[in-house]
Amino acid sequence: MRSNVLKQGIERAPHRALLRAVGCTDREMDQPFVGIINSFNEVVPGHAHLRQVAAAAAAGVRMAGGTPFECSTISVCDGLAMNHQGMKYSLPSRELIADSVEILAQAHAFDALVLIPNCDKIIPAMLMAAARLNVPALIISGGPMLAGQLGDEYVDLSDVFNAVGAAARGEMSEAELQGLERAACPGCGSCAGMFTANTMNCLTEALGMALPGNGTIPAVSARRISLAKEAGLKVMELLEKGIRPLDILTPAAFNNAFTVDMALGGSTNSVLHLLAIAHQAGVDFPLAKLNDFGARTPHLCQMSPAGKHHIEDLDRAGGIPAVMGELMAAGLLDDGALTVTSRSLSENLAAAEVLDASVIRPLDDPCSPTGGLAILFGNLAPEGAVVKRAAVAPEMLTHRGPARAFDSEEEATAAIMAGRFEKGDVIVVRYEGPRGGPGMREMLTPTSLLTGMGLDGQVALLTDGRFSGATRGAAIGHISPEAAAGGLLAIVRDGDPIVIDIPACSLSLDLPEQEIKNRLPDLPPWRPKVTSGYLKRYAEAVTSASTGAVFKN
């Protein structure tokens, strides 16, 4: 056992004395040490209940003869951080969380890990740490929030963001907005749609790093607590059998995850995070390869914000096992991939069944014959850009329009609120990338304003930043290279024609090549927006969104 370096031999008497100080018995010191790495705090709704999940996981570890130790990491709520300087810290927190898990596990020589995240960056961060450490580990998340109910309608946080646009246009009263605000988020859990947190929690199942049900069992369900106990039991089995994350996080696992992502129509942020996890696992995954998955994978689930269904509906319909069962039947998954059940994917899915075909559509009647995400290339994005094709209005799948360029999210938001744009415009928000932001802010506020104004089918938005999983419309993010790195986005001027062709996976600035060359030397040198603290260090170390915005080696 790794933990023997803390507890065996006469020279470890001081270590044992410290362990006794936290209440360890001789028997507990003889057992494997399991880190229960928890991202609980009281400000993030997705994390407010994680003490209970951690206690259940620890109970499972004890039942299987292990000694659990609960430890903590930070977490950021993207919704609370949205549209102010706090969002600059959201994506950068991913690297800090991965580092903190590594530090906790290495400093205390844990033999195995139960990792308990629930929201956007925390899930990929913990998976990155698991790959880096390569000790037996699995994920048990806190689970999704239930949808709220307002009259006969089911609502979620994205509806509140969208309603701000309607209120700004006078189409909704402040009293109606307040009623929606009070109803949309009825309790703990990750926000109820197929936003980034729930996308990533679902994809932990597809990667094989979580037990079936992890992505969809509601946060408030007793089944979530039972699953946490099973996770504690299972990590001890992984330890006994010597099954480690890098045995699971193989190319086959990432092929399966991207395929499931396409079928779910998941958040664009999943691309950023899966690439980062693959990088940590030593799996080379070129961004362009994703369009191959999109071309052959039907979109089976029309989830909020693209549709009316919420994660609780997906759970009742059979969950991720049912989705994967459909895909496996079509030969789209690697059914021999190993999972944390210590069994293969095909063994896990033997009893999977679709219980509601309106939520998980059959292969011969999908929401769309192609996947929910697309990677666009062209002179504006030679290294790629990402769009949630499933949430784009049909009339905006191809579009040519004049640019309206802004150098920050705040400038773009103010212009949208003031109506300083025309139908058909392509709003460009630049210098918001990983380096330029810094931190690659999500831009749910401008996109939800457009949606609330009824313009998500008439106005496109491009950025080198990123979007919330709750965004819908022709919102194209992750444009690489970013403006701060000399990308062509930096030379765009108001009125320049931009051509979007999502079916053809194309994004281009329609200017003569000579005009582009003439403008490039006139670009002023980029100056960092932040000159101290963690964000300064982040901007100096981070790489392109096309590589997952990981740190330079």
d(CA 142, CA 117) in angstroms, rounded, equals: 7
- 529: CB partners within 8 A, 6+ apart: 431, 436, 437, 438
d(CA 340, CA 338) in angstroms, rounded, equals: 7
Tokens at residue 309, please? 């269904």
First-residue to last-residue Cα distance in the chain: 30
- 190: CB partners within 8 A, 6+ apart: 45, 46, 118, 119, 141, 142, 143, 144, 145, 197, 198, 201, 219
* Locus of tokens 């946060």: 219
The dihedral region occupied by 213, where left means phi > 0, alpha psi between -120 and 50, and beta the remainder, is: left
Radius of gyration for the alpha carbons in the chain, expressed in angstroms and rounded: 23
Element containing residue 183 per DSSP (H, E): helix 174-183
d(CA 103, CA 222) in angstroms, rounded, equals: 32
CA separation, residue 313 to residues 146, 215, 267, 282 (Å): 10, 12, 18, 35
221 is catalytic: no
DSSP SS3 for 444: helix
> Which is catalytic among the residues 3, 141, 468, 546?
468
Could you tell me which of 17, 119, 137, 18 has the C-alpha nearest to residue 78? 119
* Identity at 188, one-letter amino acid code: C
Catalytic residue positions, numbered: 468
